[in-house]
Chains A and B, each alone.
Chain A
Amino acid sequence: AQSVTQLGSHVSVSEGALVLLRCNYSSSVPPYLFWYVQYPNQGLQLLLKYTTGATLVKGINGFEAEFKKSETSFHLTKPSAHMSDAAEYFCAVSVVNTGFQKLVFGTGTRLLVSP
């Protein structure tokens, strides 16, 4: 069964510092992987996704993630944190069964950005 593990429930960085949020997956088939962001009192917004092709995917707000099959990882990075990046980030793997997709989420990582 597909699953996702996010290491670190909280990550704290200073404004301008590198952001690294870790995600490891388990999948018996080639995975489709997603990062979602949740700002306070809002829904989940897609940051980026990996389906096939280029293993380095770029998303919105300067985020990117690299699919590494050998490490079963899909870590999210951003070179320079902004105060506005403070939010909860969820990694998810897509499970497709008879053509219908469901998302299996990790437990989330709360990113804290200090001035």
Chain B
Amino acid sequence: SQKIEQNSEALNIQEGKTATLTCNYTNYSPAYLQWYRQDPGRGPVFLLLIRENEKEKRKERLKVTFDTTLKQSLFHITASQPADSATYLCALVTDSWGKLQFGAGTQVVVTP
């Protein structure tokens, strides 16, 4: 069966440290992978997209890696701030119409 797995336990991290989130998938061949941020009761907000032929992507304090051999993406938030506290979702896109297959998300809590 097809699965997208993210750390189910919340990640508690001190302000200023780097948060690293994992997204593992099985039985998919994604064209690209996206990361979203979701705050409680709100819709997901797009953060980064990385294609299957890209190894790494950066945007400000965010970095994403994509290893299609390991079937894994890592999402890093450097110099984390309390405002980064949210749930982070990874989503795979496996078809040309952009249907998103989401993981369950990982909650990040950044404490001052």
Do A and B pair up? The answer is no
**Chain A residues with a Cβ under 8 A of chain B:** none
